[in-house]
Structure 1
Amino acid sequence: MALVDTIELLPQDSPEKAVLTEYLVELVAALVPYQEATTGLFYQVTDQGSRAGNYLETSGSCAIAYTFLKGARLNLLPTEFTQRGQCLLENIVAEKLTHDNDQWRLKDICLVAGVGGMNGKGDYEKRDGTYAYYISEPKVDNDAKGIGPLVYAYCEYVKSQN
């Protein structure tokens, strides 16, 4: 998300814009092979697929949908990423957004994850970057880290329909 947002702000002839665009293209190329085949969502531990305990995480998938859609709109990524981002967002809505008893719920958002520093919130005691640590962090509903990227992705989705 930060790459496409920053690139958009830079002058067209900026050497930094060219470098950041290369980074964006490389990042997207590295991510695409890890999309889950049925939904297109991304796992909490991206390169570990359906390994026991892993799950399709919402906030990262929303952020990636936004990046695909905005990157394509700005002609930073190939046009195929418009459709890829649209499908990803549609599947996020189908799989992760529920409406029960007049309440919306965006589910399966990792509460917190990082490396080093203070302990996390899950059962694991040390933020050491291991698989065990990342899957130990709690999944929550309606966290801002998921809702924000969902709204951003939806705005890009609407723009892509015009």
Structure 2
Amino acid sequence: MRFPKATVASALNLVAYICSSEASMVLRVYQDPVRGSAGQSVTLPVSYTAPEPGGYLRITWSRDGRDIVAYGGLWRRSPGEDRRCGQWMVVSGEFQRRAMLFPANASLLLRNVQASDSGVYELTISQRTWGTNGRLTLTVVPDTGNRAEAAKKQTAVEANIQYISLVLVLFFLLFIVGRHRVAC
């Protein structure tokens, strides 16, 4: 049996396309460097596209060779459904109440950042045989004092309100006492 040349060529092109378009994990870093103010929260924004619609996924954020957050989970993905079947997450001691990982896109939220949090953060995402790495630089600048000035102004306004309230109460009492004396 002989196949027409066009059919053979089309089949070979299809095989070549399938082999050349081998899926890989794609990591997108949306902002580098990231700047934050001391005492505020900062998000290290990233996202990824996994080559397989489900399976085991591991996400690790680290700095200076030490893990900050490590996550692992079994995902079941199908059209219209994204379900985690089993998962675990470990947050290192110094970031225990300050770090939050969003497994759906791998972004990392750091709360109450300090100048000591500045540095290069490394992200590793892997799924079975696929994996990718990324880096972001975080720079934490000192608080400019605007919030401290606003707090002082707020305190001054509250003190003025208390003072005015006290004066009004005193005038009211004097008025009542004066009317009471006149009536007696």
TM-score range, shorter chain: under 0.3
Structure showing the higher helix proportion among its residues = 1
TM-score, scaled relative to structure 1: 0.20
Q: Work out which of the two has the higher radius of gyration on C-alpha atoms and give 1 or 2.
A: 2
TM-score, scaled relative to structure 2: 0.18
